[in-house]
Structure 1
Amino acid sequence: MIVLAALSTYFLSVGTFERIDDGERTVLVEGSYQTVESNPISPFEILQAIPLGMEDSAQIIFYIFLIGGTFGVITKTGAIDAAVYGLVNRLKNNGALLLPVIMIAFSIPGATIGLSEEVIIFVPIGIAVAKALGYDSITGMSMLNLGAVCGFVGGMLNPFTVGVAQTIAEVPLFSGLGFRLIVYVLFLLTAITLVMRYAAKVKKDPSASYLADLPQQDTIAATNTEQIPFTRKHAFVLISVIIGFALNMYGIFKWEWYLTEMTGTFLAIGLIAGIVGGLRINGTFEAFTNGMKDVAYGALIVGFARAILVVMEQGQVLDTIVYQVSELISKIPGSFAVIGMFLVQLIINFFIPSGSGQAATTMPIMTPLADLLDIQRQVAVLAYQYGDGVMSTINPTNGVLMACLALAGIPYTRWVKYIWKLVVAWIIIAILGLLAAVWFGIS
């Protein structure tokens, strides 16, 4: 992908938009696009883009490393295994009910606080629960990742996507809540249906799993769950984890915490869990470094994904792509132009997987375009929101998705084979929702 991005700098015309600082963020000036001298990326610059991508993504890379270390400690105490097997013993006859419950639970913070990168830390638990119930790693990741994505694409109160886009579009903050809620429910029900049907098929016939031929995906469902007792030590570990999670949620809402503060809290959780879990100091740090090793691939892939954007920014083709695809929209007649806006956002998300980054890049263009086409600005925000959210389930430049897949041991090609039907269904729901928003005059 990095090489393809570099090659595009040799064949695409080069241009830039004027950008201004409005006091809170940098936005593009509509109508300011102009061509500039070409700046093709050399082979050596391609190599340099990778460390630059690492630098740009340093916060989330170290976030993944340190959270992975924390979960390495928690896992080493045996608390997760004991809790999972205890849960399995209680849900042997209705374990399938756990899937929609978890998906709904993860969709709520996705819709309200923009839960995204944070899902990565829950993947090991989701995989353990799914395997213990007789499912596979795809099921375990789906109930976490897709749950959060459902909330993210619904985005009723998401400050990082809807909040940014509505501010740029100059519509009331978090307006259109009722309409978003309806479409969010449709996205969520569709995802739950896919996950439950696939899970049931895998449990009935393990060979039906898309991972069945991979030796590392052997199920642990056949293990005697009664052999792992849940002790007081395990309870203390899990209590420390719950308190840490609660503190993070409070910090996000009350103190505007982000990745740095959350990571600090999880480091404290890891240290406390190691001590109360009986690992002592040396054992705690050994488990911590082993946990970091387990997520090394997922952490590094985030930096490589960012390198794609570094190449496009340095080659000055990013603005060109945004400009050219935006120009095509004006040729689509009537209210159906909103479909073109949505499709453009789907394409742009490949190049700008950051929700807030995509909003800051495209909304200054989409807003006046919506005015020109007599489409409500709120609908332009919805087109961006759904384009960003739907693509996040399959976009290979999405660092969070690739990190989760790496952590779960799921090859990207197998994930695409599993998820493409849901993506198609979500695209249809998004298009119908956008047309309904135009026809009913959602503002």
Structure 2
Amino acid sequence: MIKAIKGIMVGNTIADDRAKTEDDLTHPFFALLVILVIAVVAANFIPSGAYERVAFEGRTIVDANSFEYVEKKYVGISEFFTSFYYGFKSTSGLMALIFFAGGAFGVVKNIGLLESAIKAVSFKLRNTHFSIIALVMMTLIGTQIAFTSLWELSIVMIPMVVPLVLALGYDRVVGASIVILAACAGFGAALTNPLFTAIAHKIAELPIYSAMWYRGIVFVVVLAVCYIYLMVYAAKVKKDPKKSLVYGIESDYKALDDSIAEFTAPLKRAGVAFLAMFAFLLYGVISLGFDFPEISATFVALAFVVGLAYGSNLNKICKMFGEGMKDIFFAATVMFFAMAVLHVLKEAQTIDTIIAFFADLVTGHSPIVTANLMLFMQSAINFFIPSGSGQALITMPIMVPLADLGDVNRQVAALASQLGDGFSNFIYPTNGTLLAILMAAGIPYSKWFKFFFPLFLILMVISALAVSIAVMINLGPF
């Protein structure tokens, strides 16, 4: 395997005259800054409007029949600059989770457990074809996210997968896509997504997580399509490394070296502790209803349990934890720009106007057409409200009466909303989590868009077919 890796990596070496420095690339902050400026300008041209909010089982939801235009509210320089603070404040919970996860994996990385585990896996799979490796990894990652909806944690999986894939002769896009495309399938067609599906079902008065079998079928189909799409690109890169979308773009990621991993007694203890804590995390998310505070706490505990099991003192653990947080700083902070856009639209009171506009387009069609318009409406709204739970609370009270009026089952309306929200998260530049993951992988957004956009169109066609079939089979219970 080691000889093979050396031979493969020679073909992937980037010539000095082709390499681009970090200063040559567009920083994600700049791209989001442009979007924020556009949002401020557009918000001053879109009429202000509002729906009435009513209490519903401890939540505030929208009265679908209450929209009316209000006096136009303008935003300017003041709102532009304060949006940075409010964007940071709005996404602070998710940023905290990412920081704590980064700190935990900083410990795992610095004691050598991460590299040793990857090398051990590489050695075990030395005679296994890459297509099998990718299939197994995508299935495991996608299934986990299909039940937990925690695709944000993909950011901590990137450093595990990319070095292995580089050693096998592929590029960062292939390595990152194993994680991101699996997350896309798992989140978009999630079986038990507490951040969208559960809320949508509750508002629609459906049994929570009902019709799971149908979403399971959609998940398998989507995962298979994502896998095939990735394999086509991977084969092209393996044949000619110059066709890589990131060819000539330098990165800190390196292929695994040719040393053989040695699992010492401390590493074995740390490995057992890591597996136990991560298993507890999955159990907590699936069975105990863990949210961001509990998940963050588990990552902090993981850092100390693993570090102590390895034999490190508390001072060393704190240092490694801090280094892990530092490594993920820019990837985590990029999220607040996306929320700054949402804050500007809220200040101008244009979000409800945008939703009302899409709602008017949905009525007066056949059930199949209405259901598919709901799908694309939700996908469009996701650009402005990149928050699954936020979208469910705002749009489902509108979707439900529209579904009733359009003779569409509420289950179908919830499915259309979930699919419309899920897949578009992986292409919109207003989604801070996506930008954070791409930054961690060293992939410019423009390159990712070029890679993912054709697949996104395919996934939307699959979603439309899934929604249409759901209408035809009367997917319910109602």
Q: Which amino acid aligns with 2:223?
A: L
CA displacement at 1:26 relative to structure 2: 1.3
Question: Which residue of the other structure, out of 83, 103, 112, is the alignment partner of 1:78?
Answer: 112
CA displacement at 1:276 relative to structure 2: 4.1
Match of 2:85 in 1: 51
Report the TM-score, using the length of structure 2 for normalisation.
Answer: 0.88
Q: Which amino acid aligns with 1:273?
A: V
Are the structure 2 counterparts of residues 232 and 135 from structure 1 closer, same or farther at C-alpha, using a change threshold of 3 Å?
A: farther
1:270 lines up with 2:320 in the alignment:
no
Q: 1:142-221 residue pairs with structure 2 within 5 A?
A: 142-216=177-251, 219-220=254-255
In the alignment, the residues of structure 2 paired with residue 178 and residue 252 of structure 1 have an alpha-carbon distance, to the nearest angstrom, of 20
What secondary structure sits across from 2:334 in the alignment?
A: helix
Are the structure 2 counterparts of residues 247 and 100 from structure 1 closer, same or farther at C-alpha, using a change threshold of 3 Å?
A: same
Q: Which amino acid aligns with 1:6?
A: V
Are the structure 2 counterparts of residues 175 and 271 from structure 1 closer, same or farther at C-alpha, using a change threshold of 3 Å?
A: closer
Question: Which residue of the other structure, out of 349, 353, 363, is the alignment partner of 2:386?
Answer: 353
Match of 1:114 in 2: 149
In the alignment, the residues of structure 1 paired with residue 187 and residue 448 of structure 2 have an alpha-carbon distance, to the nearest angstrom, of 19
What secondary structure sits across from 2:54 in the alignment?
A: strand
CA deviations over 1:350-374 (Å, ceiling 9, x no partner): 1111112111111111111112122
Q: 1:335-374 residue pairs with structure 2 within 5 A?
A: 335-374=368-407
What secondary structure sits across from 1:159 in the alignment?
A: coil
Contact 2:273–2:309 under 8 Å retained in 1: no
In the alignment, the residues of structure 1 paired with residue 209 and residue 314 of structure 2 have an alpha-carbon distance, to the nearest angstrom, of 47
Match of 1:99 in 2: 134
CA deviations over 1:292-342 (Å, ceiling 9, x no partner): 121111111111111111111111000000001111122545532222211
Match of 1:257 in 2: 290
In the alignment, the residues of structure 1 paired with residue 266 and residue 236 of structure 2 have an alpha-carbon distance, to the nearest angstrom, of 37
Q: Which amino acid aligns with 1:319?
A: D
Instruction: Name structure 2 gaps, 5 residues minimum.
Output: 1-34
1:6 lines up with 2:31 in the alignment:
no
Of stretches 188-197 and 201-210 in structure 1, the one that deviates more from structure 2 is 201-210
Q: 1:233-312 residue pairs with structure 2 within 5 A?
A: 233-277=266-310, 279-312=312-345
Are the structure 2 counterparts of residues 431 and 406 from structure 1 closer, same or farther at C-alpha, using a change threshold of 3 Å?
A: same
Match of 1:130 in 2: 165
Q: Which amino acid aligns with 2:241?
A: P
CA deviations over 1:382-429 (Å, ceiling 9, x no partner): 110110112012111222211111111111111111111211110111
What secondary structure sits across from 2:203 in the alignment?
A: helix
In the alignment, the residues of structure 1 paired with residue 117 and residue 62 of structure 2 have an alpha-carbon distance, to the nearest angstrom, of 51
In the alignment, the residues of structure 1 paired with residue 210 and residue 290 of structure 2 have an alpha-carbon distance, to the nearest angstrom, of 24
What secondary structure sits across from 1:216 in the alignment?
A: coil
Q: Which amino acid aligns with 2:332?
A: A
Q: Which amino acid aligns with 1:295?
A: I
Instruction: Name structure 1 gaps, 5 residues minimum.
Output: none
In the alignment, the residues of structure 1 paired with residue 236 and residue 172 of structure 2 have an alpha-carbon distance, to the nearest angstrom, of 14
Q: Which amino acid aligns with 1:100?
A: L
1:434 lines up with 2:475 in the alignment:
no
In the alignment, the residues of structure 1 paired with residue 372 and residue 243 of structure 2 have an alpha-carbon distance, to the nearest angstrom, of 36
In the alignment, the residues of structure 2 paired with residue 216 and residue 175 of structure 1 have an alpha-carbon distance, to the nearest angstrom, of 44
What secondary structure sits across from 2:206 in the alignment?
A: coil
Contact 2:163–2:253 under 8 Å retained in 1: no
Question: Which residue of the other structure, out of 11, 22, 25, is the alignment partner of 2:56?
Answer: 22
CA displacement at 1:198 relative to structure 2: 2.3
CA displacement at 1:13 relative to structure 2: 0.9
Of stretches 329-338 and 351-360 in structure 1, the one that deviates more from structure 2 is 329-338
What secondary structure sits across from 1:215 in the alignment?
A: coil
Contact 2:142–2:186 under 8 Å retained in 1: yes
In the alignment, the residues of structure 2 paired with residue 224 and residue 118 of structure 1 have an alpha-carbon distance, to the nearest angstrom, of 29
What secondary structure sits across from 1:171 in the alignment?
A: coil
1:31 lines up with 2:65 in the alignment:
yes
1:316 lines up with 2:345 in the alignment:
no
What secondary structure sits across from 1:27 in the alignment?
A: strand
Contact 1:119–1:144 under 8 Å retained in 2: yes
In the alignment, the residues of structure 2 paired with residue 132 and residue 277 of structure 1 have an alpha-carbon distance, to the nearest angstrom, of 27
What secondary structure sits across from 1:26 in the alignment?
A: strand
CA deviations over 1:6-28 (Å, ceiling 9, x no partner): 21221111110000121232110
Q: Which amino acid aligns with 1:79?
A: L
CA displacement at 1:39 relative to structure 2: 1.1
Are the structure 2 counterparts of residues 131 and 277 from structure 1 closer, same or farther at C-alpha, using a change threshold of 3 Å?
A: farther
Contact 2:54–2:60 under 8 Å retained in 1: yes
Are the structure 2 counterparts of residues 232 and 242 from structure 1 closer, same or farther at C-alpha, using a change threshold of 3 Å?
A: same
In the alignment, the residues of structure 2 paired with residue 113 and residue 73 of structure 1 have an alpha-carbon distance, to the nearest angstrom, of 24
Report the TM-score, using the length of structure 1 for normalisation.
Answer: 0.94
CA deviations over 1:202-258 (Å, ceiling 9, x no partner): 33433232112112166515x3143x4332222222222111101212222343222
CA displacement at 1:275 relative to structure 2: 3.9
Q: Identity over the aligned pairs, expressed in percent?
A: 34
In the alignment, the residues of structure 1 paired with residue 178 and residue 160 of structure 2 have an alpha-carbon distance, to the nearest angstrom, of 11
In the alignment, the residues of structure 1 paired with residue 426 and residue 452 of structure 2 have an alpha-carbon distance, to the nearest angstrom, of 8
